[in-house]
Amino acid sequence: MAAQRFQQVGSRAGKTLGGFRTFILRGNVVDLAVGIVIGAAFTSVVTALVAGIITPLIPVSGNQTLADWTIPIYNNGHLKIGAFLNAILSFLIVAAVVYFFIILPVNALTNYYKPKEKPAEPAPTRDCPYCLSSIPAAATRCAYCTSPLPPLAPAQPAPPTYRAPGT
């Protein structure tokens, strides 16, 4: 009895893990994971650039730089304004790089390869014989003066044109 129960648990676990394996091996999941790892690495490079090069060049007061800027508060505490501004600058730089080097080129490629849409034909219209407003051709009442409209005459085929032989 225990062996049979063990087999049932094993087959259910195999199905679950098989589904998980299929999910993990999909191309978009792997691409997403690579993108997150590259994004994290790029963010750390930008953070180092901002904290190590950009903010030390911005003086706050005296011999203090923007990266070291703190405001003393009650009980020997400090508000680290410089670290917060470093994070904001890092975010703005990463956002600008993503926008200018990923979003704009992808949008340009999408617009270039997107099939051109033909403009829609305007719906046929006719003029109301009472108020002379332009209304849809299939209307039975005028939308403006509510007058009943005469039915449309059926379209007549064009008369055949005569061609002389040999022309």
What average pLDDT does range 144-148 have in this prediction? Answer: 88
Give the sign of the dihedral formed by CA 56, CA 61, CA 64, CA 67. negative
Average pLDDT over residues 146-159: 76
- Token pair 């792997």 is at which residue? 30
Q: What average pLDDT score do residues 116-127 get?
A: 82
**Would you state the pLDDT for residue 166?**
65
For the cut 70, the answer to whether the pLDDT of residue 10 exceeds it is: no
Residue 158 has a pLDDT of: 65
User: Of 137 and 157, which is predicted with more confidence?
Assistant: 137
What pLDDT score was predicted for residue 8?
A: 65
Residue 46 near residue 90 (C-beta atoms within 8 A): yes
Tens of pLDDT, residue by residue over 93-118, are 888 888 888 889 888 888 888 887 78
Q: What is the pLDDT of residue 11?
A: 66
Q: Which residues have a Cβ under 8 Å from the Cβ of 80 and sit 6 or more positions away? A: 69, 70
> Where do the domains of the chain lie, and which CATH numbers do they carry?
12-113 (1.10.1200.120)
Mind listing the pLDDT tens digit for each residue in 23-42? 766 667 777 888 888 888 88
Cα gap 68→51, rounded to integer Å: 10
Would you say residue 145 has pLDDT above 70?
yes
Residue type, 31: D
Q: What is the mean pLDDT of residues 36-55?
A: 86
Q: Give pTM, 2 decimals.
A: 0.49
